[in-house]
Structure 1
Amino acid sequence: MMVVLRFAALYAAIVFAFGFVLGILRGLYLGLVMGESIAVLIEIPIMLALCWLVAARIFRGRGLTPPQGIEIGLASFLLLQLAESALFGVIGPYVFLDNVLFYLGDLSPPRAAGLVGQILFAVIPFIQILRSR
C-alpha cells in the first residue's frame, strides 16, 4: 500500500505543479483573450500529454501491476482534488467539499471538460503500467 501511495503522491505532485503553472497562464492570459472554454480546451491536451510523459517516466520498469495502476490512479485523483481544495482554501473561500460540490453544481462546458481531463489523468497510470509489461 505504501508503494501505491508514494507513486500516487509523486505523480499527483508533479502534475499539480505543471497544472498550477498552466492554470495561472490560462486564467491570466488565455482565458481573458480567448474565453474560458477555449482556454480550457487548449490546456487539457497539454496537461494530458504532460501526464502521459510523467507517468511513463515514473512507472516504466518499476514492476508495478495493473491493479496497482488502478489504485495509483484513484489515489492520485484524490490527492489532486485535495491539493486543489487546499490551494483554493488558502487563496479563496473553498474547502474540499466546496470543490467537489462546485463540479456537481456547475458542470458548465469548461468545468465538465476539466473533470474529464482529471479522470483521464487518473487512468493514465493504469495504461502506462499495462504498456510497460
Structure 2
Amino acid sequence: MDSSSPGKAILIVEDNPDIRDTFRTLFELEGFDVQLAANGEDALASLARSDEAPCLILLDLSMPVMDGWEFLDVLRSREQGAEIPVTVLSANVDANVSRDLRTRYGCRVLPKPASVDTLLDVVRSYQHAGPGPTLH
C-alpha cells in the first residue's frame, strides 16, 4: 500500500477481473490507493508486503485458491488483522450468513451487485478514519 495516502488505501479481493478493474477505476477516481488481489492468498501476500494496513478491505466470498471465509479466518487470527475493516460483497448471502459474518468476523455485508452510490458511501465512511494499523 502506498504510504503517501495515509488512510486512503483499499484492498479489493475479488476473483472476477472485470469487477476488480471496475472497482479500481471507481475508487481511484475518488483518490484512493487501490490494491488488487484475485483471492485470499494473494490478499494475505499483499498485506504482508505492506507496512500499513488498508483503511478497508472489500472481499468476495466465493473465490478459487483461498475463499473469503478462509481469508477471514487467517486475517482475524492475526493481531493487526483484527483491526482492519472488511466489507463483504456477495451474491449468495442469506440472513444467517450475513449475521455470521457480522458477529464472527465484524464484517459489513452488501449484496452483489451493489450500487455505485452504496459502494462509494461505504468506502467514504472509512476514508477519514486515518491510516490502518501498522502491519510489521
Higher strand share: 2
Higher helix share: 1
- Is TM more than 0.5 here? no
**Larger C-alpha radius of gyration, 1 or 2?**
1
The structure whose RCO (Cα within 8 Å, separation 6+) is larger is 1
Normalised to the residue count of structure 1, the TM-score between the two structures is 0.28
Normalised to the residue count of structure 2, the TM-score between the two structures is 0.27
